[in-house]
Amino acid sequence: MLRAFKEVTNWDDCGHKVLNHTYILNEQGHCVGFRSTTSKQYKEFSKPMKGFSKSRRKFIELKPVEKYMVSEYVQS
């Protein structure tokens, strides 16, 4: 079962701009895809990112996960 998490980490103390994105994780907690905050494009990885970690970051779970696994059309 896949789960979607939107990062809500406050990066103000970081010293530079860091964007929070939406991540799709599998049952083992590996990142299988993400949705960009700026472009609204969804990218699915060919292999799960086993090094992805939620530690020291804040997330909220989004449901249903399928809603966040599509790219939105962005007019430029």
pLDDT score at 72: 79
Span 3-29, mean pLDDT? 95
User: What pLDDT, on a 0 to 100 scale, did the predictor assign at position 14?
Assistant: 87
Percent of the chain clearing pLDDT 90 (strictly above)? 87
In 10 A of CB 33, how many CB atoms? 19
Global confidence as pTM = 0.89
Number of other CB atoms surrounding residue 22 within 10 Å: 22
- Give the model's pLDDT for residue 74: 53
The Cα 8–Cα 60 span in angstroms is 7
Give the three-state DSSP class for 44: strand
Assign 73 a pLDDT band (cuts: 50, 70, 90): low
Q: Does pLDDT of 34 surpass 60?
A: yes
For the record, the structure tokens of 52 come out as: 């992805």
Residue-range domain boundaries for the chain: 3-68
